[in-house]
Amino acid sequence: MLNVVITGGAGFIGQALTKQLLQRGELTGPSGSPQKISRITLFDNVAPNDFGDSRVTTVVGDIGDQAEVRMLIGQDTHSVFHLAAVVSSGAEADFDLGYRVNLAGTRNVLEACRSLDGKARVIFASSVAVYGGALPATVTDSTPQRPTTSYGVQKLMGELMVNDYTRKGYIDGRAVRLPTIMIRPGKPNKAASTWASSIVREPLSGVDAICPVSPESMMVCLSPRRTVDAFIRLHELPGEALGVDRAMLLNGIPASAGEIAAAMERNTGNRKVGKIIWQPDPHIQKIVNGWPRALSSDRARSLGFSVDQNIDEIVRFFIEDDLDNQIKSLAS
């Protein structure tokens, strides 16, 4: 029987991952063979949704508290999906909080796993924010990581720690560099990329949205469906398939803010939609300008990681998976 911990379990990806794991029912265990999932523990600083499943346990706590994380990741833990983070603009605005959560919190997770009798599989959610500076037109597997934000620095240090703890034999670690995940249900957050979801989510829900970047601003996007698939696939790969460098760059769909807005309009159907208000914010624009405009990972393709067909498909996934609940939450 397999026990799984998901930090950041109240977030939309943590929730989607939990749902998929419950449906799947099994993961590769320490023996290398599939094992039934007996428990999934969701950890966050707020209470996650109730899944109504006896396999799901929820814990509210602080990822920056070493003692709490040690209690969370007990000797019976086999797999950890470490998603907890302070997002990009939040980490840039609050330097100390970003380092407490994104760096010290990751170290707490790795140290707790190091203390286990067995070698846990640890999946770390990194970001394309590890890139920065004078980037090529397309970021590839060989592009150097030179982050220009505190968030990117923290994520890169997390990747390096995952590699080092794996090299020492303390964990079986894997890290994934995520593009912008859209469309995120709920409310806008402090991520510099939150507008990519807002300019689809709000208008389709009948609400106006503010876009703080120009219509020409580029973003590389991936749907929550493909993101969850990637986390599970990365977990299931044998370590030898990844080699020494355990950080995987994911591919995504490059699109401008204007193209994302146009895809939303093509999929409105008979809905009464809200407007997009283009209201530039120089701080957000500067952060977004420093991110990759396109990604191409031969490594991810060779290992079977898939991407969405186009932005329209990402919009349709949101309509199918989340829009009804989004509208209900706004009404309540």
- The per-residue pLDDT for range 8-34, each reduced to its tens digit, is 999 999 999 999 999 999 999 988 999
Coil, strand or helix: which one is 226?
helix
Roughly what angle, to the nearest 10 degrees, separates helices 257-266 and 311-321? 50
For the segment 58-117, what is each residue's pLDDT rounded down to a tens digit?
999 999 999 999 999 999 999 999 999 998 888 999 999 999 999 999 999 999 999 999
Dmax over CA atoms of the chain, in Å, equals: 57
Give me the pLDDT at residue 294, please: 96
For the segment 126-164, what is each residue's pLDDT rounded down to a tens digit?
999 999 989 999 999 999 999 999 999 999 999 999 999
Catalytic residue annotation: 151
pLDDT for residue 332 is more than 80:
no
Fold of domain 2-181+221-249: Rossmann fold (3.40.50)
For the segment 35-66, what is each residue's pLDDT rounded down to a tens digit?
999 999 999 999 988 899 999 999 999 999 99
User: Distance (Å, rounded) from C-alpha 158 to C-alpha 122?
Assistant: 12
Average pLDDT, the chain: 95
For the segment 295-328, what is each residue's pLDDT rounded down to a tens digit?
999 999 999 999 999 999 999 999 999 999 999 8
Residue 329: pLDDT band (50, 70, 90) is confident
Q: Please name the residue that has the structure tokens 């397309």.
A: 138
Q: Please name the residue that has the structure tokens 């349709």.
A: 316
Which one-letter amino acid corresponds to residue 114? R
State the average pLDDT over residues 274-294.
92
Please give the residue that has the higher pLDDT: either 12 or 291.
12
pLDDT for residue 236 is more than 80:
yes
Coil, strand or helix: which one is 56?
strand
Rg of the chain over all Cα atoms, to the nearest angstrom: 19
Write the CB contacts of 240 (distance below 8 Å, at least 6 apart in sequence): none
pTM (2 decimals)? 0.94
Give me the pLDDT at residue 57, please: 96
**Cis bond upstream, residue 199 (ω within 30):** no
Please report, for the chain, the start and end positions of each structural domain, with discontinuous segments joined by +: 2-181+221-249, 194-219+253-292+310-331
Residue 330: pLDDT band (50, 70, 90) is confident
Give me the pLDDT at residue 190, please: 80
Give me the pLDDT at residue 290, please: 87
User: Distance (Å, rounded) from C-alpha 141 to C-alpha 147?
Assistant: 15
Give me the pLDDT at residue 189, please: 84
Give me the pLDDT at residue 88, please: 84
Q: For the domain 194-219+253-292+310-331, what is the CATH superfamily, name and number?
A: UDP-galactose 4-epimerase, domain 1 (3.90.25.10)
pLDDT for residue 275 is more than 80:
yes
pLDDT for residue 192 is more than 90:
no
φ/ψ of residue 286, rounded to 5:
-65, -45
Please give the residue that has the higher pLDDT: either 291 or 244.
244
Q: In whole angstroms, how far apart are CA 164 and each of 7, 172, 246, 331?
A: 21, 10, 10, 48
CB-based contact 145:130 (threshold 8 Å): yes
